[in-house]
Structure 1
């Protein structure tokens, strides 16, 4: 096996690894292969370049590139004299992870917090209602305790998200050079 073949074998292994794990970003394996291919290119690529390299349709490449952009893993770049859109992998993988993590979890916290707030209000009214049975009252109180617990959890998760957004996470888990 010559040097070029060995280089391609090493790149393919990493690209397939990315394709197998890209679901963590909510993306399909084809987007992972596209990302992997772009990662090893030392220059921005057009959708046509990507379609030719991967043997996939330009439409498929366009769909994947949009998803990769929304996940903040790639970005569109400008190059003088080039009329087609060019894309490249974002260099800062740490920030890409932070962006994806915080975007998804911030939304989840918001949805859950709103539901908790509404349910707590309803349970408070139910608990104050003197016409309900003792069984319902006990269940409502037990539910209130559960909601207080998960409210604390989402407050903690919100602080964790803030630690990522503010890069305080790097004080706890520093980036280390090997």
Structure 2
């Protein structure tokens, strides 16, 4: 096997490794593949080029790029002399990890806080309802305590997300300095 083939094999292996890593963060492997392709090109790429390089349809590629933009992994950039949309990625692995990590947790917290808000409203109505039995009120009070604990937990996750997003994490777990 010649050097060019070996390099292509290594490149493909790295792309698959990044795709698998993306899955472990809870995102589709296609995001990892697209990220890796843009990363190794070293420049912003347009939808047509990315569709061609991945074998994905333009519609699917557009969805993947939108999803990447939502989680702050890619952004649309202007390229002088072209009417096409080009996409650029942040090459900072640390920042990308923070974006991936926090976007998942933000969604979890938001979804669960909505559920807890509904629960608290319903439990409050049971506790204030004169027609509720003592047994129902007792059970509602137990659920209310559990909701309070859940909300405390989700507040903790919010603060953890802020800890990462503020980059305070690097004061406690510093990046290794390149040699």
Matched, 1:39 2:48: no
Change (3 A) 1:125 1:77: closer
- Within 5 Å, give how 1:24-173 maps onto structure 2: 24=24, 27-127=27-127, 131-173=131-173
Cα separation, partners in 2 of 1:120 and 1:85, compared to 1, 3 Å = closer
Deviates more, 1:23-32 or 1:62-71: 23-32
Q: Report how far residue 25 of structure 1 moved.
A: 5.7
TM-score by length of 1: 0.80
Write out per-residue CA displacement over residues 115-135 of structure 1, whole angstroms, 9 at most, x where no aligned residue: 434433543453455654332
Residue 56 of structure 1 aligns to a residue whose secondary structure is coil
Q: Secondary structure at the match of 1:160?
A: helix
Task: Report the RMSD for the aligned CA atoms in angstroms.
Answer: 2.7
Secondary structure in 2 aligned to 1:59?
A: helix
The 3-state SS of whatever aligns with 2:80 is coil
Instruction: Please give the alpha-carbon distance, in whole angstroms, between the structure 2 residues aligned to 1:2 and 1:9.
Output: 11
The number of aligned residues is: 178
Shift of 1:26: 5.5
Q: 1:119 to 1:53 in 2, by over 3 A?
A: closer
Distance between the aligned counterparts of 2:65 and 2:110, measured in 1?
A: 28
Q: In terms of mean alpha carbon deviation, does 156-165 or 23-32 score higher?
A: 23-32
Question: Structure 1: which 5+ runs fail to align?
Answer: none
Report Cα offsets for 1:46-72 as digits up to 9, x if no partner: 222223333333333333222222222
Q: Secondary structure at the match of 2:45?
A: coil
| TM-fit CA distance, 1:161 | 1.5
Alignment check: 8 A CA contact 2:73 2:99 kept: no
Q: Which whole-Å CA distance do the structure 2 matches of 1:92 and 1:34 have between them?
A: 16
Q: Any idea what SS the aligned residue of 1:91 has?
A: coil
